[in-house]
Structure formats: structure tokens, C-alpha cells
Amino acid sequence: MPEGSQPRPITVIGESLPYEDGAEAELLDILRAAEDRRVGSDELASAVRDWPTAYHLSPERAMLLAPVAIEQGDRVLDVGAGSGVNTRICADRGATVTAVEGSSARAELISHRCAGLEGVEVLCGPLEGLGEDRRGTYDVALVVGALEYAGTGLGGGQGAAALLSSVMDALVPNGLLVLAIENRLGLKYLLGYPEDHLGLPWVGWEGYREGEPTTWSRKELGRMLSDRGLTSQVWLYPFPDYKLPTAVLAERIYGRADAADLVDQIVGFPTSDAYQHPVLVADDRAAHRTMIEAELGPDVANSFLVLAGRTPEALEGRVDGQALAWRSAPDRRRRWTQRAVVVESAAPRGQGGGGMAIRRSLAADDRDGDFERWLGQVEVAEDCYHQGRNLEQCLLESIRAGRMDEVAKCLRDWRSAIAAQETPVTEVPNPHPYLPEDTLRVLPPDWLDVAPDNFVVAPHGLVLVDREWMAAGGVDVRLAVVRGLWKTVSAMLRAHCHIPVPVTWSNDRLVCHLGGMIGENIDSELLQRWRHAEAQLISRVYRQPAVRLAELYDAGGRSRMERLLSPLAPYRRMEEEVHRLRDLVAEHSDAQEAAAAFQEYEGHLARLRAELAQIEEERVRTQAELAEVRARLARVAWRERVHNTVAKAVRRLKKP
């Protein structure tokens, strides 16, 4: 324990509840040893290794309350506070916080996470033990990931209505409830993800049983809150869910004419399989767009973040009324973490912004300068948000539809936009990974991230947006192009798109193929040089680079064949299998790939023969059993005939 940071005392207000996930002892050791216990610290984030540690230690946890104004002087009640993530966030903002946690093991975690913070009170026991003297004393009550357990033994068993009533009793008349919970009709559940609490797909859609953790649909939850008197409500939507969100959407974003494109740009892929192994039934990103276009976006959001009060005054000033979305890039070190808020602005729509702006802020307020050696990051307090589809969206739409001529055109337009910024150079005075000594053509320093997703299709041409990264001295053109193509291929694979090239092609070969469509000769040496440069960037920016580096070096040799064997998107897998068979027939000129395909089919044939032999054995056994049964029936029939004959003879003898 660092000197001068004593754990907060724990006051017992009732019997401890048996809610733990098994990681409490490990987390306690981590928090005891940590120097920086703030949510989002690199020290805590470096200890993430699985789902429990990710849930309690990931910086993404801080994104949930980013839209909510909890400030100096607020009195906050954190109900079911867990390990104290939200308690610590509110305390660091200057609020006075009472954390109520039913589990004694988790209350101890709160005590250590908030060590040295005089404004934090830790209570252990059920909410009913809070005491009459606390009635009507809190300005804000947090119920994050707790309401779903209210009707179970783990959550006290009193039920959701009773929990909400107890929370309301603790609030001042104009107090604010902040509630976060999963949506029982969420998109990820529709697509086959296991239900977060029960671990089985579609159980929430079918209906929960009594005593099980329970979530509700948007209308059900809204009605429940209104029935408790919380009639003033603001709904927000965290993605991929409320647990580790990277984006939070305001409801008003769904009412825009460009909602499908805008939400897709901000959210990207709406689900995450980082700690789960779902069996998806469709491309989640395309399915999300379809739901938004059908005006069902809020109803199928994976999670809800609801701000509710008895009166409209309870919500005043708690959420930026101009904001459409809050966004943060995941996995970064604190020094590079940047948060963005997309807002509706008064700027004329005709000036490229579509009436929107983007405000950015950096999480770290103690960094030295904008550059760390060759890599820099510039904070732009407010910039125009260019309305329109980005080039990645256009590419995905075209390739989903099988229009490869449009794919080629999009890539050519992208390459032309890059070419317009190229400058020839004869020497590089200060080389770095993305600007090697033998660079011949260079891009401006803020053109490091020039992937298609950062180009908006505007009436006058492509516009590069989100120029967050800076490379000192500029960027080698060819390395920037390879980086952009890799991001494009990754998006196509993540979306399970059918790409009309052999599925046996490695991802490296696919990048080279796309490069060839725009006249870029990408060979293995260039790919290797790009990987070296990207590895240096990853090692500098991300908090746990080892996983990303392993993926970087492993991904090039993999192929889409592996995705056909994965549990992801079985419908797409079947569709791609048909294309695969057609492709293999057309591959007769490639002897090596044909041989590999032949070996694969030989193995498949051997498995079929083994299954056929097993079926034949079962058939022989069945026939033998059938013959035996027939013999028994024949013996029984013979005995019955003898019996009937004797019986008839006896009856004749008995006749007078």
C-alpha cells in the first residue's frame, strides 16, 4: 500500500450477499500494490488478462459516465457499487460518494480503490440497511449493473420495483437516477450472443424464469420507471454495451435522416467477441444498419443508460443537449487516450459540416508536449464534422453486393486523394519507422492514418478527417497505403464479406491483390517493412501491445478458410462455402492450391468413409437384431397356434 493512502473504512449495514465472480482476491492484490488507482490508469489496465479483470480494471469503464454531469458538491449514492469503478469516477470529479455494496469481498475492493479519498464512504450490506436518516439526502443515485439481480438471491431477492423504491427514497425531490442495464431485445442477443447472466442464447427473448437475473426491453423498462414516478427520462445507448463502452449515443441521433450512416461511422461494429465466443447469424454491422433504417435502433440497442427523475428539473444540466454521441478509442495508454463528442452546431450545413461539430479532449493532463519521439498527437478542441458516407462504408456496401468494379473505383479515388498530397524527397534527415531513410515520396505529418474510413465522400471529392496522429517529418507514401489497405481488409473480414478471390489466399496476398487494383506493387518485403513500422506504433500507443503485436504478425499468413471453420456467421459461412467450391473448380491452373484442396477433400472423404463404415456396422447389428426378433415372434406364433388348436379340441370334447 503506497504511503499516505489508507483504505477507506467499511461500515457494515446488514448481512453480506453472496455475489462474487472469483477474481476478488486477485483484484485486491492489484489494488493494494497500485500507485495510480484512478479509472483509466495504465497501471491498472496493464493487469487485464481475462473478462473479470477487464470488467473491473479496463479504462473503457470510464466511458459510461462521460455524458453525465456529476460534479463538485454532488452527493452520490452508488448502489451495488461492485469494485468501486463508478464510485472512484464520481469522487475524482469532486462528488461526495456513498458506495453501497452487498458483497464484503467487493466492499474491500472499493475501500482500496478509493484509498485516501475522504469524500468516499463504503457501506457493506443490502440497500435496505441504509437507514431512515439517509432518506432524501442524495442528489444522484447510480444503479449500474444491479437492477437485473434485484429479484435473485444474489441481489437480495426483493425485486426490481422494491429496489427502485428504496433508491427513490434516498434521493432529494429533484434527485437523478442513473441506470445502466442490458436490453433483453438487444441486437447482439438477436444475433446469437449468449445472454450475459445465464450464458445461453435467446433466453431473454423467450422469457426469464422466476428468480433468474432479468433484463427488460426499452418499453418495459421505461414503463417500470414511470410507474415508480420517474416520468422525466433521457435515454442514452452505450456500444458495444454498458460494461466496456467505446461509444454512447444520444437518442436524438436516431431521428436524423442520415442516422444509419452516422451511427455506423461512430459505432462501427456494434458487438464485441473479445471475451465471448458467439455463434452469429448475420453480419452484425449490416444488421445494425438495417435496424436503424427501419427506425428500430433504440429498441435493439445492446444496452441502456437511462437518466430519470420525478421532474424535468432533475435532468437540467446533466446531459449536453447538443450532443449526439460520445466516443473514445479503446485500448490506448492514458497518454494517448482522446475522447470526442459529436454535437449539433449552428454552423451552416452548406459549409461541409452538415450542422455538426466534433469536440475533442485528452484524458491525460500531465503529458509533456504533443510528441513522444517521432509520434505526435494534436488536440483540436472543436472541428467540423463532415457529413456524408466515409469511403470504408462505400467499399463494404459495394463488396457485399458483389460489385467489384465499384470497389476498384473507390480504391482508385482513395489512391488519387493520397497522390494529391505526395511530395518527392531526396533524403530523410530524421528517419523513423514510418519514414525510413530510402523514402522517395512523402505525405504531410498529419497523413499517417489515411485509411478509407477516414475519408468522407463529399460533393467536391474525398475529404480526410480525424487527423489526430502526427509523424515527425512526414509519412512514407507506400507504408501509408499498405496501412490503409490492411485496415480495409480487416473491416471486410470482420463483416464476413464474400471477396471474389480464392478463400485459400492469405490475408497478405489479399492486400497485395487490392494494391494491384490501384497500381501498387506490394510485395513481401514491403509488407514486412510495414509490419515493422506498425509494431513500433503499437508498442508506443497501446497499453497491452503484446496481444496486438501477436495478431499483427500472425494475421498475414491466415486466410478466409479459417473463418469458414469458425462459429461466426454460419449463414455467411454456408454462402461462402458455395463460392469456395466454385473457386476451387476454377483454380485448376494453380497446382499447389489445387493439391491442397485435393488433400482437404481426401481428408473429408476419409471421414465420410469412416462414418459410412460405422453406419454399415450399425446396419448389420440392426439386421441381426431384427432377425432375432422375427425368430422370437415365429416361436411365439407357433405356440399360439398349438394353444388355439388344443383349446378348440377341448371345446369340442366338452360339447354334449
580 contact partners, CB below 8 Å, separation of at least 6: 502, 503, 561, 564
Distance in angstroms (rounded) separating the CA atoms of residues 618 and 416: 66
Cell of 32: 493494494
Structure confidence at residue 578 (pLDDT): 61
Q: Is the alpha carbon torsion for 361, 365, 368, 374 positive or negative?
A: negative
10-186+196-251+304-314: which CATH number, 3.40.50.150, 3.40.50.410, 3.40.50.11540, 3.40.600.10?
3.40.50.150
* Phi-psi map region of 575: left, alpha, beta (phi>0 left; psi -120 to 50 alpha): alpha
Q: Which residues contact 478 (CB under 8 A, 6 or more apart)?
A: 441, 520, 522, 526
Please determine, for residue 315, whether its predicted confidence score (pLDDT) is greater than 60.
yes
C-alpha cell at 427: 533524403
pLDDT at 416: 97
- Residue labelled with grid coordinates 499517417: 448
Q: How far apart are the C-alpha atoms of 633 and 635, rounded to whole Å?
A: 5
Burial (CB count <10 Å: 0-12, 13-18, 19+), residue 219? exposed
pLDDT tens by residue, 96-133: 999 999 999 999 999 999 999 999 999 999 998 998 99
Per-residue pLDDT, 585: 64
Which residues, 6+ apart, have CB-to-CB distance to 533 below 8 Å? 433, 434, 436, 479
Instruction: Indicate the residue type of 460.
Output: H
How many CB atoms neighbour CB 614 within 10 A?
Answer: 10
Distance CA 111, CA 7 (A): 5
78 pairs with which residues across the strands? Answer: 99, 142
Q: Is residue 294's pLDDT more than 90? A: yes
Q: Give residue 349's pLDDT.
A: 47
Rounded to the nearest integer, the mean pLDDT of the chain is 89
Spatial strand order in the sheet of 375-377:
371-372, 375-377, 469-471
Mean pLDDT of 294-316: 97
Task: Return d(Cα 53, Cα 30) in angstroms, integer.
Answer: 10
- Predicted confidence at residue 211, as pLDDT, reads 87
Q: Which residue has the higher pLDDT, 235 or 276?
A: 235
Tell me the mean pLDDT in the region 326-353.
Answer: 81
Q: What is the pLDDT of residue 351?
A: 47
Under DSSP, is residue 22 helix (H, G, I), strand (E, B) or coil? coil
pLDDT in tens, 501-532: 888 899 999 999 999 999 999 999 999 999 99
pLDDT band for 253, please (50, 70, 90 cuts): very high
- Work out the percent of the chain whose per-residue pLDDT is above 90: 66
pLDDT digits (tens, 9 = 90+) for 579-598: 666 666 665 555 666 666 67
Type of residue numbered 451: A
Residue 235 has pLDDT above 50, yes or no: yes
What is the pLDDT at residue 564? 59
Question: In sequence order, which residues have a C-beta less than 8 Å from that of residue 592 and are 6 or more positions away?
Answer: none
pLDDT at 381 over 60: yes
Lowest mean pLDDT: which of 25-39, 51-65, 196-210, 527-541? 196-210
Name every residue whose Cβ is closer than 8 Å to that of residue 655 and which is 6 or more positions away in sequence. Answer: none
Q: Which amino acid is at 510?
A: L
| Span 22-50, pLDDT tens digits | 899 999 999 999 999 999 999 999 999 99
**Pairwise CA distance, residues 246 & 63, whole Å:** 6
Region of residue 466 (phi > 0: left; psi between -120 and 50: alpha; otherwise: beta): left
The helices-and-strands tally (H runs, E runs) of the chain is 20, 21
Antiparallel, parallel or unpaired: β 171-182 and 247-250: unpaired
Q: Going by DSSP bridges, is the β-strand pair 75-79/96-101 parallel, antiparallel, or unpaired?
A: parallel
The predicted model gives 130-155 an average pLDDT of 90
* 350 band by pLDDT with thresholds 50, 70 and 90: very low
